[in-house]
């Protein structure tokens, strides 16, 4: 049976509550992803703030390809294959500032930041074979576009535009104003599992009760999940607490403060320093008898004050309906997750690490609201394995505690396949189904459903 027939056979087994497990560990899937998934999706490469100035460049590696993203002096953002058209040497190793000059260290060919070749040593030598034209010597262009401050690339010249690929996210997030954020921190770590295992650990809330039991004290939630084409989201909203019995008081200030403080301390994201400042003012300035609505109104005011003190803008156009519609977290197909809050945006990205199906590169960002012209200033930390991440982030370590064990488990011949919760893990099932469709048909177009 060919790998294509094998994938088609497994795809036919997918049901709302069943997904086969082979793709988590079979090297044939790594190869198939290289051929069908990575070259045909839009992939998040970096933030615009990392390539804001002329000459700034970012290297984004995905499977066997490396992409060089550059802002040229004409202000245009461009992306190129990070490979020399002469003999194939990789051109750049990491992020930096190339100015207007990219040089190959093998035989010295050079390009400007628009990817146009500027120099070929002994170019006339090629005259005996008809000479070299621009198409021979310029860098290979890659499509690049931006959304909400994120830079995306696609290797597929026929892929639909980014805006329609992302549908419905541009509409859902229209009022969140995430362009005006800056990276507060970025951590990259190598994890001992398939990239889909770590991705799927972050696209459902069904695990919260067991994996993050400390969260249960924050009250009743009504979890759910839903697919929107190739993307999907889950929601995990608070249920408004019942008003206190007559004669009994609930300290709603304390409840809000406890939540914000704990997320701030144990995750370092979702509730950042502006939220923390607002929560502290609640405790200092409101009486403990303040009602739920009074606490909410004051919190919003204090939150806006904290942002304004930084020159940042509170997203004033954001409505409670917008917040409810955005839910808790989205999987942006294939490999990105975003968790929106009023305070900022947390994001994850999972990629394969070489050809080992049991190793992945996982990125985590926390973006804070900032002045539109704020400079970019953050530390990017790299952790070569999960052990070196110990002590970095209590909340994420609770999640990471599962993923190696899941990777070990899904390989077992005794594991019958994933049984996603058809209410709370629609995200997992829908991601997997779309993933198989991309492996089977170019851009996933061709499935009957
Ligand atoms: S490989 Fe780059 S100049 Fe020869
Ligand atoms: Fe989690």
pLDDT in tens, 309-359: 999 999 999 999 999 999 999 999 999 999 999 999 999 999 999 999 999
Running DSSP on this structure, what letter comes out for residue 310? T
**Domain-by-domain residue ranges, the chain?**
1-41+169-248+321-449, 48-155
- Is 334 within 8 Å of 41 (Cβ atoms)? yes
- Whether the CB of 104 sits within 6 Å of ligand 1: yes
* Distance, CA of 283 to CA of 255 (rounded, Å): 10
* Distance, CA of 30 to CA of 17 (rounded, Å): 24
What's the confidence (pLDDT) of residue 22?
97
What's the confidence (pLDDT) of residue 448?
63
CATH topology (fold) of 48-155: Rieske Iron-sulfur Protein (2.102.10)
Instruction: Indicate the length of the chain as a whole number.
Output: 449
The SS3 assignment for 113 reads: coil
Running DSSP on this structure, what letter comes out for residue 442? G
What's the confidence (pLDDT) of residue 447?
73
CA of 382 to the centre of ligand 1 (A): 30
- Tokens 């290797």, residue located: 155
What's the confidence (pLDDT) of residue 449?
54
CB neighbours of residue 416 within 10 Å:
10
Beta strands in 90-147 (DSSP E): 96-97, 102-103, 110-111, 117-119, 141-147
Atom of ligand 1 nearest to the CA of 84: 2
CB neighbours of residue 154 within 10 Å:
24
Confirm whether the ipTM is greater than 0.95.
Answer: yes
- Whether the CB of 89 sits within 6 Å of ligand 1: yes
Match domain 1-41+169-248+321-449 to its CATH number in 3.90.1170.50, 3.40.50.620, 3.40.50.10470, 3.90.380.10: 3.90.380.10
Sign of CA dihedral 57, 58, 60, 61: positive
CA of 99 to the centre of ligand 1 (A): 20
CA distances from 393 to 269, 274, 362, 396 (A): 10, 19, 14, 6
What's the confidence (pLDDT) of residue 15?
98
Atom of ligand 1 nearest to the CA of 85: 2
Judged by its nearest atom, the ligand closest to the C-alpha of residue 83 is 1
- Tokens 């320093």, residue located: 273
Running DSSP on this structure, what letter comes out for residue 19? B
How far is C-alpha 427 from the chain's CA centre?
15
Helix, strand, coil % in the chain, rounded to nearest 5: 35, 25, 40
Where the chain has pLDDT below 50, the residues are none
Judged by its nearest atom, the ligand closest to the C-alpha of residue 110 is 1
What's the confidence (pLDDT) of residue 215?
85
Nearest CA to ligand 1 atom 3: 107
Tell me which of 90, 92, 106 to substitute to probe ligand 1's pocket, judged by most ligand atoms within 8 Å of the beta carbon: 106
Which residues face 331 on adjacent strands? 232, 337
What's the confidence (pLDDT) of residue 51?
98
Sign of CA dihedral 418, 422, 424, 428: positive
CA of 103 to the centre of ligand 1 (A): 9
What's the confidence (pLDDT) of residue 250?
85
């Amino acid at each position: 049976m060919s790998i294509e027939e094998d994938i088609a056979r497994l795809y036919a087994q997918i049901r709302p509550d069943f997904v086969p497990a082979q793709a988590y560990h079979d090297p044939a899937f790594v190869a198939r992803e290289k051929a069908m998934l990575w070259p045909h999706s839009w992939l998040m490469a970096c933030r615009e703030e990392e390539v804001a100035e002329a000459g700034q460049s970012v290297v984004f590696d995905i499977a066997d390809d490396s992409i060089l993203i550059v802002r040229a002096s004409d202000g245009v953002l461009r992306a190129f294959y990070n490979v020399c058209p002469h003999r194939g040497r990789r051109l750049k190793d990491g992020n930096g500032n190339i100015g207007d000059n990219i040089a190959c260290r093998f035989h010295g060919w050079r390009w400007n930041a628009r990817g146009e070749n500027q120099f070929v040593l002994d170019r006339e030598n090629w005259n005996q074979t008809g000479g070299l034209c621009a198409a021979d010597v310029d860098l290979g262009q890659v499509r690049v576009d931006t959304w909400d401050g994120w830079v995306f690339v696609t290797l597929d010249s026929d892929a639909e535009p980014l805006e329609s690929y992302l549908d419905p996210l541009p509409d859902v997030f229209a009022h969140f104003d995430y362009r005006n954020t800056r990276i507060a921190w970025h951590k990259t770590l190598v994890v001992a599992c398939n990239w889909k295992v770590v991705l799927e650990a972050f696209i459902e809330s069904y695990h919260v009760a067991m994996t993050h039991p400390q969260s249960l004290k924050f009250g009743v939630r009504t979890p759910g999940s839903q697919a929107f084409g190739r993307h999907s989201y889950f929601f995990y909203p608070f249920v408004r607490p019942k008003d206190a019995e007559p004669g009994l008081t609930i300290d709603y200030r304390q409840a809000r403060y406890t939540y914000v403080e704990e997320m701030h301390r144990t995750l370092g994201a979702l509730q950042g320093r502006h939220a923390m400042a607002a929560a502290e003012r609640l405790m200092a300035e409101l009486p403990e008898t303040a009602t739920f609505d009074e606490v909410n109104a004051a919190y919003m005011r204090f939150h806006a004050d904290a942002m304004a003190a930084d020159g940042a803008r509170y997203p004033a156009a954001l409505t409670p309906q917008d917040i409810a519609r955005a839910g808790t977290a989205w999987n942006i197909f294939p490999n990105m997750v975003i968790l929106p809050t009023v305070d900022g945006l947390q994001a994850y990205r999972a990629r394969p690490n070489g050809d080992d199906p049991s190793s992945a590169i996982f990125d985590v960002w926390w973006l804070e609201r900032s002045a539109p012209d704020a400079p970019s200033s953050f530390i990017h930390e790299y952790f070569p394995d999960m052990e070196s991440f110990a002590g970095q982030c209590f909340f994420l370590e609770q999640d990471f505690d599962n993923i190696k064990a899941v990777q070990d488990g899904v390989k077992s011949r005794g594991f019958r396949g994933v049984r996603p919760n058809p209410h709370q893990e629609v995200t997992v099932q829908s991601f997997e189904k779309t993933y198989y469709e991309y492996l089977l048909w170019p851009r996933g177009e061709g499935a009957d459903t």
